[in-house]
Amino acid sequence: MKTISESDFQTKCSEFVKREVLCCQSSLVEELLSKEIFSYDDIQNIYPTFDEEEIEAGVECPSCTQVVSKTDSVTGQCEDCFEDEKEPQEVFEWWAVSGWLSEKLMEAGEPILENEHGVWWGRTTTGQAIMIDGVIRGLVKRFWEASPEEALEKPITAAPDLLEALEGLVKELEPQWPIENAYLADAFCCAKEVIKKAKGE
């Protein structure tokens, strides 16, 4: 297995967050939920999932005292007790995230709100940098171990309509090259760069 120092790992986590987590929209999402423009029914994983931690020797469930070999890694309970007693996860912040990250967070059991307007991650922690959230570290670690080059140098994910707008800009400015206006020249180069990265070129 490849090893990586904690400080290099943190750099990877920070790059990962910069690339996949777009912006915090807690008050917007809360407002839309409270006005019923967004529906609570569109939030998935609001209840935690039983994650089947295997304990070969068996362990006593803290609720029913039965000895079982599969428990939830967070509560230590057997599946029946876990299902009976589970509480909804508390969402502290709503973050707009890339479609790719939303899928990974969904698989990891994180609350995800998805509707025709977009996709948001319901973050169940607050008051610390996202890059040190357990779920984010877990994802980066998993991809690092699987295939570090591929996973962490993955092309940036740009929204299709943003990409379209940038392509329009490039098309319009291309015949004018070299562009005298420094601001426009800069925007042109940036747009080309983003398109290139988004297409994984």
Which stretches of the chain bind Zn ion, using CB under 5 A?
61, 63-64, 78, 81
Q: Which amino acid type is present at position 184? A: L
Residue 136: Cβ within 10 Å count? 25
Contacts of 28 (CB under 8 A, 6+ apart): 94
Helix, strand, coil shares, percent, the chain, to 5? 50, 15, 35
Contact assessment for residue 155 and residue 194, using Cβ atoms and an 8 Å cutoff: no
Least spacing, CB of residue 53 vs Zn ion, in Å: 14
Antiparallel, parallel or unpaired: β 67-71 and 93-97: unpaired
In angstroms and rounded to an integer, the radius of gyration of the C-alpha atoms of the chain is 22
Judged by beta carbon, residue 81 or residue 130, the one nearer Zn ion is: 81
CA dist., res. 109 & res. 135, Å (int): 9
Judged by beta carbon, residue 22 or residue 78, the one nearer Zn ion is: 78
Least spacing, CB of residue 90 vs Zn ion, in Å: 23
Least spacing, CB of residue 61 vs Zn ion, in Å: 3
Least spacing, CB of residue 190 vs Zn ion, in Å: 56
Judged by beta carbon, residue 63 or residue 115, the one nearer Zn ion is: 63
Judged by beta carbon, residue 84 or residue 172, the one nearer Zn ion is: 84
